[in-house]
Structure 1
Amino acid sequence: MDLSATGDPFVTQADPQVHVGLDLQQGTVVLRQGGTDYAPHHALVEFASPEGRPWTAQEARFSAQGPDGEPVSLTVDLLNDACDGPRAGVPGVIWKVVALAATSAGDVGITYEPPTS
């Protein structure tokens, strides 16, 4: 490879939001809306840390196919109306998806070491 690189990377959080995408195994999650069941194949969870406060999950967006085969997007607001805590009534399985996304983001259990030359 004909490439050179210099520098000392530094990341800033100008926008204190992180979006974590997960590919879900078909059929492991079922969402029901308006009497129709949807089996999402992808979830996108949005985390935020406004004004240096602890990270919290704000929203989960699920991609699925409707009964007619057309793509469907379902959005779940995870914060209550005051934006100071979790929204009541969110099903437990959605919180499990959020926990998987947090793990994928490196909050728990994920470590990485660059390869040695």
Structure 2
Amino acid sequence: MDLNATGEPVMTHEDPQVRVGVHIEKGTCILSRGGTDFVAHHASVEFAAPEQQLWTAQEVVFSAQGPDGKSVGLKVDLLNDACDGPRDGVPDAIWKVAALAATSAGDVGIRYTPPA
């Protein structure tokens, strides 16, 4: 690796964000937009804890394949416009993806041990 790094990086705790990726088995989550179906195969869920509040899922970005076989990205905002609660009309399947991401990241209490 041809890279060097120095310093003591510090995370700000005012508005921490964590993005968690999950692989989705093809065919288990179909997204529809404008009458076109897309087969999701990966999702990246962004969690935030603004002003030291509880962690909440705020958006999901799906990687999917369209009927033409081309890859597309589809973004879903999970919070309402005031950012004080869930957005109305978000399908249950998308909330399940957010729950899977939270579970796979230890409910965003990510546990990690650096290599020795």
Q: TM-score, normalised by structure 2?
A: 0.81
Identity of aligned residues (%): 67
Amino acid in structure 2 at the alignment position of 1:60: V
Aligned-partner Cα distance in 1 for 2:10–2:21:
20
Match of 2:35 in 1: 35
Amino acid in structure 1 at the alignment position of 2:24: L
Tell me the CA shift for residue 29 of structure 1.
Answer: 0.4
Structural mapping, 1:27-106, within 5 Å = 27-106=27-106
- What is the count of residue pairs matched by the alignment? 107
- SS for the counterpart of 2:106 is coil
Query: Which of 14-23 and 32-41 deviates more?
Result: 14-23
Match of 2:18 in 1: 18
Q: Give the gaps of 5 or more residues in structure 1.
A: 1-9
Q: TM-score, normalised by structure 1?
A: 0.80
- SS for the counterpart of 1:85 is coil
Bigger relative CO (Cα 8 Å, ≥ 6 apart): 2
- After superposition, the CA RMSD in angstroms is 2.4
Runs of 4+ in 1 over 6 A off after TM superposition: 110-114
Tell me the CA shift for residue 112 of structure 1.
Answer: 7.7
